[in-house]
């Protein structure tokens, strides 16, 4: 599964670890993705979304369905 936000498209970024001796080794920065139950086109779906999209309100979370208290 791709490490990519389904709303904004944010994905991994590549660069280098830089030691004190300036030895360069490759590394990746991954986006902070969460699985969220969201309303997409009127239907509830689980999507992978970055936390920035959740905080900014670009995702409308689906209401939770509670079990009845009579059971």
Q: What is the pLDDT of residues 31-64, one digit of tens each?
A: 999 999 999 998 999 999 999 999 999 999 988 8
Q: Within a domain: residue 34?
A: yes
| Alpha carbon distances (Å) from 60 to 8, 16, 20, 44, 55 | 14, 36, 45, 10, 11
* Count of the separate structural domains present in the chain: 1
Query: Is 4 inside a domain boundary?
Result: no
Whether residue 42 lies inside any domain: the answer is yes
Q: Which pLDDT tens digit goes with each residue over 7-37?
A: 999 999 999 999 999 999 999 999 999 999 9
* 3 belongs to a structural domain: no
Give the domain extent around 44: 13-56
Determine, yes or no, domain membership for 51. Answer: yes
């Amino acid at each position: 599964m791709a490490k990519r936000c389904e709303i904004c498209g944010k994905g991994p970024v590549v660069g280098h670890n830089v030691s004190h001796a300036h030895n360069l080794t490759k590394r990746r920065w991954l986006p902070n993705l969460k699985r969220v139950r969201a309303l997409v086109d009127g239907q509830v779906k689980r999507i992978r979304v970055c936390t920035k999209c959740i905080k900014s309100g670009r995702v409308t979370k689906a209401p939770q369905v509670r079990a009845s208290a009579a059971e």
